[in-house]
A and B are shown apart, each in its own frame.
Chain A
Amino acid sequence: MVVLREGMCPGLDEDLVRDLRAADIKTVEDVVSSDIEELAQRCSVSYKALFAIRRVLLAQHTAFPVSGADLYEELLSSTAILSTGNPSLDKLLDSGLYTGEITELSGGPGSGKSQVCFGVAVHISYHLKQSVIFIDTTGGLTASRLLQMLQAETSNTEEQMEALQRIHIFRLFNIFSLLDCLYSLRSGGLQQVSVGGGSVKAVIVDSVSAVISPLLGGKQNEGMSLMIQVAGVLKTMAKDFNVAALVTNHVTRSGSGELQPGLGVSWSHIPRTRILLERVERATPVSHSSMRSATLIKSSRQPCHIKEEFDLQWGSRSKEASSGKRKLDETDSG
C-alpha cells in the first residue's frame, strides 16, 4: 500500500493529490486500478497528464520482469554451496547448504540442532574464511563452545581469534526484535558486517520456532502474519545477498504419531530443504551417546526419506579431548 504524495512523480503536485483524495483515490494502487477517463473528468485534469502519471507510478512501483536466461546466468555465477563440515549431512544436502535458499533443521530437545549450527558456523568461518551471522533466540550459544570447536581444528590462537571474529552473534528473544534485526541486516547491515572479514555467506537462526510458536494458536492472525513476514525477509535476504539461511525448528507429533517439524502447515512451504534430526536408538543404550540420525524430509534435489547417521562429536577431532568431551557431556545434558 503506497500512499500518494506530491512529488512522487513529475506532474503530481499538491492540488492534484488533494483532488484525487477527494475522489477517494489515496494510494498508488487506486490510481492504477481506476478508469483514467472518468477520473480525469472528475478531477478536471487532462487525460494525457493523468495517463502519464499512471504510467510513471506503475513503472516506479512494480517488480521488474527478468528473462529466465538472465536469471539463470546470474544464478550460475553467484550461487555457492557451503559445506556444513559434516560429510554425512553434506551427502543429504547434495554437497552442502546452497546460497539463496532456506534450509531447515528440526529435531527434539537434545537432538543436536544447535551443535550442528555451531559446527556449520565454525566450518564456514575457519575453513571457508567467510563471515557468519548467528542469531541466537534460545540462549544456547556460548563463545567458549565455539572456541572449543575451533581449538579442535587448529592450535594457533591467532587463527582461532580471527575465525571467532568472523562469527557475528545477535541475541534476541522475541519476534519483534528478530524482525528488526533482519530488516536492518537486509538494508545495509550485511555490508557493514562484512567490512574487515570475508563477506557474509550464512545467516543462522537458532531457533526460529522459539520466537514464533508462542504467538500461534487461538483465533488471532497476527502470529501467522509475523511468521510469514520473517520468512519473507529471510528469503529476500538469502536471494539478494547470496547467503545461505539455516533455521532450526522444534518437532511435534502428527495425528498418526509420527514426528514432524513444528510451526504447522503454513511454514512447511517456506524452507527449500528440511532435515529431521533424531537420537539413534541402539539395542544396548549407551548413555550420552553422540550418534544422531538425520532424515531428509523435503528436498528438490534428492529423493526424500534418505537417512544418514553421524556422530555429533565429529567436529571435535583432537586426540587429547576425551576427558574434555566427557566433561562436555556432563554439562551438556540440558
Chain B
Amino acid sequence: MTESGAQLFARLEPRRSLKDVEPRLFPDDGGPDHGEVVELYGTEGTGKTELLYHLLCRCVLPVATGGLEVDVVFVDTDYSLDMLRLVSILDSRLNADEAALRLCLSRLLVVHCSSSSQLLLTLHFLETSLSSRPSLSLLLIDSISAFYWLDRCEGGASVAKQEEKLSKCAVLLGRLLRDYRITVFATCHAMRRSWSGPSSSSSSDYDRPYLCRPWQRLVTHRLLCSRLEAASNMAATAGGSKEQRRRQVFTVHCTSSSSSRTKAYRSSSFCVTDGGVEFI
C-alpha cells in the first residue's frame, strides 16, 4: 500500500513509550513498552475500571501535573465509559482548572462499537487516525470481552467460527502494534467456566483466559484484579455511622511475559477514593 511521505514519517517516528505509566503496578523496569498489550482481567467490582481511568488520566494529564501528555483512543464496546467519573478524577489532579481540563479531554478520542464486526471496521478506520496523529500512543479497549456471547451464539456449533471475528480483530491489532508502535490496554471481564463445587469462591476459578488464541498471544502483561474481603469487620464495629467509609482494598497481580524477558511478577494493592486510585 502506498503512503505519503508524511504518513511514512508519522509511522516511523517513535511514539511516547508508556513504560513509566505506573511503576507501582508493573515489575521493575517492566512497564508496557512499544507494541505491548496489557490486559486487565477480573470480575465485577474488582476495580478494573478505576484502574483503567487512573492509567488514562496519567496519560492525558500535562507533564506539569505528573502526566505523560499523550493522545489516547478509547474504544468503548459496552457503553460503559463514565465521563463524569473520569472528569472528577482529572479535576482533583488539576485543581479545578477549566482550560486545562478541556485540553486534557481534547487528547481523548472516544469511539463506540456495538458488535465485533464494527470493532474490526473501527480498527481499520483508526489506522488513518494513527498515521495522522503521531502523539497517539495508547489504544484503550473497554472491554474486549463485550461481544463474547454474541459471537459464540452467531458462530453456532463450530468453535472456529465463534472465535473468528475476535481473532480477526486480534490479528489486525497485532499489525497495528507492530507498524505504529502503540500500546494497548484492554479490560476483560472474568467468567467462571466450570462449576467446581460450592466451596470454590476462590479467585482461581476466575483466572482462566477464555478469549481466542490470537488475543492470548498478543497479551504481554496480565493484571489480575481481585477484591479483598478482609474489611467486613469494620462495618460491624463502626455501627454504620456516616463517617465510616469502608475502605475496600483491591489487589492486582501482574504477570509480565514479554519476549525479551523471562516472566516477571508483581503484586500491589490499592483503594479507591473520590480523587481516584490510591496505592497502598
Q: How far is the CB of B55 from chain A (nearest CB, A)?
A: 15
CB pair B110 A235 closer than 8 Å:
no
Known A32-B124, A228-B150, A266-B191; contact A75-B129, beta-carbon cutoff 8 A: no
Q: How far is the CB of B68 from chain A (nearest CB, A)?
A: 16
Q: What CA separation (Å) do A68 and B74 show in the bound complex? A: 9
CB pair A305 B111 closer than 8 Å:
no
Query: Closest B-chain residue to A220, C-beta based?
Result: B153
Q: Say yes or no: is A303 at the interface (Cβ < 8 Å to chain B).
A: yes
Q: Which of B119-139 contact A (CB under 8 A)?
A: 120-122, 124-126, 129
Of B82, B121, B149, B168, the contact of A266 (CB 8 Å cutoff)? B149
CB pair A69 B172 closer than 8 Å:
no
Q: What CA separation (Å) do A59 and B126 show in the bound complex? A: 11
CB pair A28 B153 closer than 8 Å:
no
CB pair A300 B85 closer than 8 Å:
yes
* Total residue contacts A-B, CB cutoff 8 A: 144
CB pair A28 B121 closer than 8 Å:
yes
Q: Which of B232-280 contact A (CB under 8 A)?
A: 235, 240, 245-246, 248, 272
Q: Say yes or no: is B179 at the interface (Cβ < 8 Å to chain A).
A: no
B80 CB contacts on chain A under 8 angstroms:
269, 272
B110 CB contacts on chain A under 8 angstroms:
65-68, 71
Q: How far is the CB of B274 from chain A (nearest CB, A)?
A: 9
Q: Say yes or no: is B78 at the interface (Cβ < 8 Å to chain A).
A: yes
Known A29-B117, A36-B1, A61-B121; contact A269-B150, beta-carbon cutoff 8 A: no
Known A33-B172, A222-B153, A265-B191; contact A72-B87, beta-carbon cutoff 8 A: yes
Of A58, A69, A238, the contact of B125 (CB 8 Å cutoff)? A58
Q: What CA separation (Å) do A36 and B124 show in the bound complex? A: 13
Residue count of chain A within 8 Å CB distance of chain B? 54
Q: Say yes or no: is A286 at the interface (Cβ < 8 Å to chain B).
A: no
CB pair A66 B111 closer than 8 Å:
yes
Name B residues whose Cβ lies closer than 8 Å to a Cβ of A: 1, 43-45, 49, 60, 73-74, 78-80, 82-85, 87, 102, 104-114, 117-118, 120-122, 124-126, 129, 143, 146-147, 149-150, 152-154, 168, 172, 189-192, 198-201, 235, 240, 245-246, 248, 272
Instruction: Pick the 9 closest A-B CB pairs, nearest first.
Output: A68-B108, A225-B153, A68-B105, A268-B44, A69-B105, A224-B149, A235-B79, A62-B125, A255-B201
With A63-B118, A238-B79, A255-B200 given, name 18 new contacts (CB 8 A): A29-B120, A62-B125, A63-B114, A64-B111, A65-B110, A65-B111, A75-B83, A75-B84, A221-B153, A224-B149, A228-B150, A232-B79, A239-B79, A265-B192, A269-B143, A300-B85, A301-B84, A305-B246
Name A residues whose Cβ lies closer than 8 Å to a Cβ of B: 1-2, 27-29, 32-33, 36-37, 58-59, 61-69, 71-72, 75, 79, 221-222, 224-225, 227-229, 231-232, 235-236, 238-239, 254-256, 265-266, 268-270, 272, 297-298, 300-301, 303-305, 307
